[in-house]
Structure 1
């Protein structure tokens, strides 16, 4: 199974302190004991410029990264692995209402696999498994580590997301930290087509996009207690607004563990109103 221990991207005692906080099981257990007795604080973000890049990878290799009892969706020994990178729009609790616009808008990248079904104890909804979560903001990276189990977040040494009328590019530089590397360059294209490998699994471009982008929940592994955490989300992607991308370069730090069996399939979601609705241990 993959390791999500936090390492800070820069050397020195501040980085060691941040790592100690991020990996502290005692703090996490206290937080979970308190927050599990309180109503979940719904989180909102007006997300924009979501660059999805996916590969069909070896399903057996991907399954080895997951805990026991978590079953991948697969066909003919292949399963999708997706990296989506985006800019938040004032990410934070919904409670402040219009004042939420004062909150910052960090960059985030989620790395995920797709499940055949949800684990026991969770409702039967389309669900993904979070392998990695990367952000470019130290307060947000530490905040998700200290106050949540669903996002195993790593801080990037550098992170970029550039979307123009003709191109989309995203990159993650790990530095000395635990964030994986990423470098993706794409062109926005008019033709919405699938190559033969993707077409064999999904039939057409729109159905592939719907499968990869439209989920109602996510799970992650909680190493300190060996349990799974289940989080419900609201991500109403408008498929009519999705733009096709052609990847001219796509380097990803996890592909050594997940041998790709296809060319990358990429697309752009210009914007979506994201909500995190719940989180609980299974």
Structure 2
């Protein structure tokens, strides 16, 4: 009899998940109660994820996942939140607000190297191809990136450029990320604050001035664009070409990275 009751409970729980396949909540700063925009939200190892909206609200489809799967909330400058699907559903049913705690880090010492003469150089690809292009997946939080080789210590990143082959959105909001490399794939973020860029044109150069972010690197990096928001419906395509650096791609927030046998029209202006 007890086994029968347990089985019925499990079936009802699964039916409940299938009927309520979308879970909703709001992400807030624990200390200020301010909403947290564009937080990465993902089901680990499932390729399912999204980002929170500008007002901190989020919706996540859990129809095709198990109650024991893990959901992670991750934002630059905050401690991650990690729940099982079952615990997350229960928590949101009691209170739709999830609060994230700021992660106070001691910044590494910045070494200023005095040189009589600085050199500037463009690294990466400047392709403007419209026949070979790459777009994001259908999920907010998807990323597209490429490796850029750094040959000098204390290289200052001054500017980022990409060539947009096609944009049919009224506007699209992207997050620019810089990563260290492990096993050929993105590892840890280098930038300590979010770098956002809005693009409104139909095509052309997407340029980000980076001098105020004080990005200094001494090893190879991977630079990515992450889709976090848009206005209207449409497509967004970035110029690409055949190349050995490979496109680093993930389909959703906190998804696994993969490499495709092409390279993107990304380049950075550096000073060393």
Q: TM-score, normalised by structure 2?
A: 0.25
Q: Which is higher, the Rg of structure 1 or of structure 2? A: 2
Answer 1 or 2: which has greater strand percent.
2
Q: TM-score, normalised by structure 1?
A: 0.25
Answer 1 or 2: which has greater helix percent.
1
